[in-house]
Structure 1
Amino acid sequence: MSHSTFNRRWAGIILEALTRHGVRHICIAPGSRSAPLTLEAAAHATLICHTHFDERGLGHLALGLAKALRQPVAVIVTSGTAVANLYPAIIEARLTGERLVILTADRPPELIDCGANQAIAQPGLFAGQVAAACNLPRPTPDIPARWLVSAVDALLDEHRWGAVHLNCPFAEPLYGGDPDAFRDWHDALGDWWHSDQPWLSTPARLAIPVQPEWPILRQKRGVAIAGKITPEEGIALAAWASALGWPLLADVQSQCGQPLASAEVWLRHPETHEILSAAEVVVQFGSHLTSKQLSRWLAGIHPDAFWLIESMPGRRDPAHHRGVRIAADILPWLAAHPAVAPASELTGNSALTPHLRQDAGSSLMPDLRHDTDLLTSRRPWYSGLNARVTQTRENLHRALDHFGEAQLAYRLPALLPEKGSLFLGNSLTIRLVDALAQLPAGYPVFANRGASGIDGLIATAAGVQRGSGKPLLAVVGDLSALYDINSLALLRQGSAPLVLIVVNNNGGQIFSMLPTPKAGRERFFSLPQQVNFSGAAALFGLACYQPGSWSALLAAVDKGWQSGAALIELRVEEQAAAQFLADAGKDTR
Structure 2
Amino acid sequence: MISTKKHVQQLAALLHQKGINDVIISPGSRNGPMINTFVGSGLFNCRNVVDERSAAYFAMGLAQALKKPVVIVCSSGTATLNYAPAIAEAFYLNIPLIVITADRPEYWINQLENQCINQKGIYSNFVKKEYNLPLEESETELWQAAREINECLNAAVSGKPAPVHINVPLEEPLHDLLDEELPIIKAIDTKKSVLEIDKASLNKFAAELNASKKILILAGQQNPDLELEKLLAAFTEKTGALVLKEHLANLTDESFCGSIDTMMAAILEEVPADFQPDILISFGGHFVSKALKQFLRKNKAGQHWHLSPANDHYDTYQSLTEVVQTDAKTFFSQLIPEVSDKNTAYLQRWTTKENEVNQLRDKYISDSRFSDLKVIAEVGQYVPENSVVHLGNSSPVRYALIADWTTNTTFLSNRGTSGIDGPMSTAVGYASVSEKINTVLIGDLSFFYDSNALWNNYIGDNLRVIVINNGGGNIFSLIKGPGESPAFNKHFYAENKFKALGIAQTFGLDYLSAENETELKNSLAELYSPTRKKPTILEVFTDAEVNTKTFRGLFKFVKQ
> Is TM > 0.5 for Structure 1 vs Structure 2?
yes
Asked if the contact 2:470–2:542 (Cα under 8 Å) also holds between the matched residues in 1, the reply is: yes
Q: Deviations over 1:155-202 (max 9, x none)?
A: 22245432111000111112234436xx9xx75x4xx5xxxxx62223
Please give the per-residue CA displacement for 1:3-48, whole angstroms capped at 9, x wherever unaligned. x9421x4323212212344423211100111111112212344422
Is it true that 1:390 corresponds to 2:355 in the alignment?
A: yes
Amino acid at match of 1:267: M
CA distance in 2, matches of 1:506, 1:536: 16
1:128 alignment partner, SS class = coil
User: Does structure 1 conserve the Cα–Cα contact (< 8 Å) formed by 2:385 and 2:406?
Assistant: no
Quote the residue 2:274 is aligned against: 275
Alignment CA distance shift 1:35-1:532 (3 Å): same
**Cα gap change, 1:32 to 1:559, in 2 (>3 Å):** farther
Is residue 466–residue 494 contact of structure 1 (8 Å, CA) maintained in 2? Answer: yes
Query: Over aligned residues, Cα RMSD in angstroms?
Result: 2.5
| Map of 1:498 onto structure 2 | 463
Pairs within 5 Å for 1:140-539: 140-143=137-140, 145-159=142-156, 160=158, 161-179=161-179, 187=183, 189=184, 199-210=187-198, 211-212=201-202, 213-219=204-210, 220-221=212-213, 222-232=215-225, 233-234=228-229, 236-257=231-252, 259-269=256-266, 270=268, 271=270, 273-277=272-276, 279-338=277-336, 340-341=337-338, 379-401=344-366, 402-437=369-404, 440=407, 443-490=409-456, 493-495=458-460, 497-513=462-478, 514-516=480-482, 517-539=484-506
Letter in 2 for 1:480: S
Structure 2 residue identity aligned to 1:227: G
The aligned counterpart of 2:37 is: 40
| CA shift in 2, pair 1:225/1:531, >3 Å | same
Deviation at 1:317, TM superposition (A): 2.8
**Structure 2: gaps spanning 5 or more residues:** none
Partner in structure 2 of residue 572 of structure 1 = 542
Task: Please state how far the C-alpha of 1:312 moved relative to its aligned partner.
Answer: 4.6
Say if 1:35 and 1:175, in contact at 8 Å, map to a contact too: yes
Letter in 2 for 1:131: K
TM-aligned CA distance change 1:92 to 1:235, over 3 Å: farther
Corresponding position of 1:10: 7
Q: How does 1:13-32 map to 2 (within 5 A)?
A: 13-32=10-29
Same amino acid, percent of matched pairs: 23
Structure 2 letter corresponding to 1:508: G
Equivalents in 2 of 1:327, 1:546: separation in Å?
Answer: 50
- Partner residue, 1:88: 85
Aligned length: 538
Answer yes or no: is the 8 Å Cα contact 2:247–2:258 preserved in 1.
no
1:195 aligned residue = none
Q: Is the 8 A contact 2:308 2:326 kept in 1?
A: yes
> Which one of 89, 94, 107 corresponds to residue 110 of structure 1?
107
Letter in 2 for 1:509: N
* Amino acid across the alignment from 1:465: A
Q: Helix, strand or coil: the match of 2:453?
A: helix
TM-score, normalised via structure 1 length: 0.85
Residue type of the alignment partner of 1:23: I
Check conservation: 1:93, 1:162, Cα contact below 8 A.
yes
- Partner deviation per Cα, 1:371-390 (whole Å, 9 max, x = no partner): xx8xxx86443323333211
Amino acid at match of 2:195: A
**Which deviates more from structure 2 when the two are superposed, residues 502-511 or residues 68-77?**
68-77
Query: Distance in 2 between the 1:238 and 1:509 partners?
Result: 38
For normalisation by structure 2, the TM-score amounts to 0.89
**What is the DSSP-based 3-state SS (H/G/I as helix, E as strand, rest coil) of the residue aligned with 1:335?**
helix
d(CA) in 1 for partners of 2:327, 2:534: 36
- Residues 97 and 115 (structure 1 numbering): CA distance in 2 closer, same or farther, change over 3 Å? same
**Superposition deviation, residue 498 in structure 1:** 0.8
